[in-house]
A and B are shown apart, each in its own frame.
Chain A
Amino acid sequence: QQQVKQSPQSLIVQKGGISIINCAYENTAFDYFPWYQQFPGKGPALLIAIRPDVSEKKEGRFTISFNKSAKQFSLHIMDSQPGDSATYFCAAVTTSGTYKYIFGTGTRLKVLA
């Protein structure tokens, strides 16, 4: 119940294409869903996040789509660039009650020039 399943494990996209990464959770107590971007040799950095009262959030080229009934959320990277090549982690968080911050397994994205 505490797991967050992330797919695909790796992704190769052409420059200018759309990158899509999916996550699914089971525990309905999660109420905050962030995405982190991590470059080699660096710590993860918060990219974008959403709460379950919203179905979509967009920041620049990055969009989160959230399906509360299906308990799924996804990250879309529009116009993907070589500089977006990194590992992406979704997470599910409980912000009240027992603290839980569960990361997905990660997706290694490579954007070809």
Chain B
Amino acid sequence: DTEVTQTPKHLVMGMTNKKSLKCEQHMGHRAMYWYKQKAKKPPELMFVYSYEKLSINESVPSRFSPECPNSSLLNLHLHALQPEDSALYLCASSQAETTGEKLFFGSGTQLSVL
């Protein structure tokens, strides 16, 4: 299984809502990532989990809260988002952060904040 599965595929939420994005991989990878991608732009790194511990937080606003319950799962909890947070949210995994040359991306969650 070489897939990274993300749910939901689409999400529309209001600025006062709380929602969660989910990501799952069964490749035995020990590093997992959240990226944000605006239209016609490259992916921007948000968070890196290495061996289930948060290792990189790229100064992301606290309305985004990551969680790594186990080595296969990664969540991104969303609260009080702004319309400018509308984007494609991508989850990725790699063997390990220190050898994370090859990133395996999921198909993403297209988020719209109204």
Q: Is the Cβ of A99 less than 8 Å from the Cβ of B41?
A: no
Interface membership of A12, Cβ < 8 A: no
Interface membership of B45, Cβ < 8 A: yes
Check A43/B92 contact, CB under 8 A, given A101-B45, A106-B40, A106-B42.
yes
- Give, as a whole number of angstroms, the nearest-CB distance from A21 to chain B: 13
A interface secondary structure, majority: strand
Q: How many residues of A contact B (CB 8 A)?
A: 22
Q: Which residue from B42, B100, B107 sits with its C-beta under 8 Å from A89?
A: B42
Q: A25-55 vs B: 1/0 string, CB under 8 Å?
A: 0000000101010000111111001000000
| 9 A-B residue pairings within 8 Å (CB atoms) | A43-B90, A43-B92, A43-B107, A44-B103, A45-B105, A89-B43, A99-B48, A99-B56, A99-B98
